[in-house]
Amino acid sequence: MSDYFYLYAGLGSAAVSAIFYGVYKNREGSIRSLQNAVEVEIGSQLRNALLASDTRSIPYGVIRGETKPQKPNEVIRSSRVADVTGVMQRVKTREHKSEWSRTTRLWHDIERTISSASSSVPFCLFGNGDNVKVMEPLSAEQLTLKVIHDKFEPVSSSVAESLVQWASGDKTKGFQTIEEMLPVGTTLTGIGEITLTDDGIKIGPPKSGLTYYLSQLTLDAIMRQLQSGKKVWKILSAIFAFGSGILFLVSLVLYFKRRRDREVELDLIRRMREEVNVLGEGEVLDQQEACVICMDRQRNVVILDCGHICCCIDCAQRVNNCPVCRRVIARLIPTYNS
C-alpha cells in the first residue's frame, strides 16, 4: 500500500463531502427562495398584482392551474391510445437484451434506450376565467409526464439465430415502447418569473437564475420533498467529512512513524559507517561476504522489501534498485556480525 494512500483517500473523502455539502446548500437556497416566492391565484388577483408592479412582473411567483392548449385545435393525439390528448408527448423505445459476462461467467439482463422523441404544443395554465402562457416547459424541474402506453414485444428467433446469439454472447429479448403524455386538464403548479406583456401573462425561467418548476405537486409538497432531500445530503456530507478527518489523522500518525523510523535508520547507518573499514592492501575478503558492487567491504545491510543481503551500506545508498532482483529499495536495515 502506498505511503500516501490514507492522505489521498482523505482528500477524496473531503472532496465528496464538499460536493454533498454544496448540494445541501443548494437545496437550502431553493427552499428559502420558495418560502419567499409570491403565491397568487390566476385571474384578477394575478393581473392586479402585475399591474401594480413597476416592471409589470413578479420575479418569482407561484401559480396553479389546469393545462390547456393555447389554440383549442392544436393538441397532440396519441396514436396508441384512443381519445387521449395532451400538450406534451414523449415516446421511448427500449431494447431488452442479455449479455454474457466473462468476469462473472453469467448472463446479465440489460436495457438501453435506442430512440426517444419529444413533442409539445404551446399551452397555458387556466384558472378563474384567465390563463397564463407557459414558456420553455422543457427546461422546468419536476415536470413528469403520465405513462399512457407501455408495451413489450418479444423477439422471436429461429434455432440458428439463437445459436449465433448464444455464441456471440448477445441475445436480444425484445423491445419496449413507452408513451408518456401531459394530458389536457392536468393541474400544474408553476413557479417562475411571471410577466404581463402585450401578448398576455406569461410564466418562464427566472432571470435571477432561480429554479423554474412545473409540477403536479402543490407548493407545500414541493417544499417538503426538498426538505427531506436536504437532510439526506447533509447527513452524507457529515459522514464523509468525519471519514476524511479519520483518514487525515491516520495519515499524520503514519507520517510521524515513518519519520521516526527514518531517523533511527539514519542513526544506525551513521554508526555503521564509523565502524566499517575498507580492506587494506593484501587483505582478502570471502567472496560470499563481499559487497557485490564494490567487492571491498563486507555485506552489512538488509534491503527491503526484497530482503537480500548483498552489498555494503555505502553502495546500497548509491543505488535505487536491489542489485540482485532489481526491485525498488524501500528501506535499508543495517546488520551486525557478532
Contact 143, 215 (CB under 8 A): yes
94: which strand partners?
113, 176
Q: Tell which CATH classification among 1.10.8.590, 3.10.580.10, 3.20.20.10, 3.30.40.10 matches the domain 286-337.
A: 3.30.40.10
pLDDT, tens digit, 9 for 90 and up, residues 117-127: 989 999 999 99
Whether 1 shows a pLDDT value over 60: the answer reads no
Spell 174-213 as b/e; 16+ CB within 10 A means b: ebbebbbbbbbebebbbbbbbbbeeeebbbbebeeebbbb
For 232, the 3-state DSSP assignment is: helix
10 Å Cβ neighbour count for 85? Answer: 14
pLDDT band at residue 221 under the 50/70/90 scheme = very high
Q: Is the peptide bond before 199 cis (omega within 30 degrees of 0)?
A: no
pTM above 0.75, yes or no: no
pLDDT band at residue 300 under the 50/70/90 scheme: confident
> How do the domains of the chain map onto residue ranges?
37-228, 286-337
pLDDT digits (tens, 9 = 90+) for 30-73: 899 999 999 999 999 999 999 999 999 999 999 999 999 998 88
For 58, residues 6+ apart whose C-beta sits below 8 A from its C-beta are: 38, 40, 49, 50, 193, 194, 195
Partners of residue 298 on adjacent β-strands: 290
Helix axes 219-275, 5-36, angle to 10 degrees: 160
pLDDT digit string, tens, across residues 240-256: 999 999 999 999 998 88
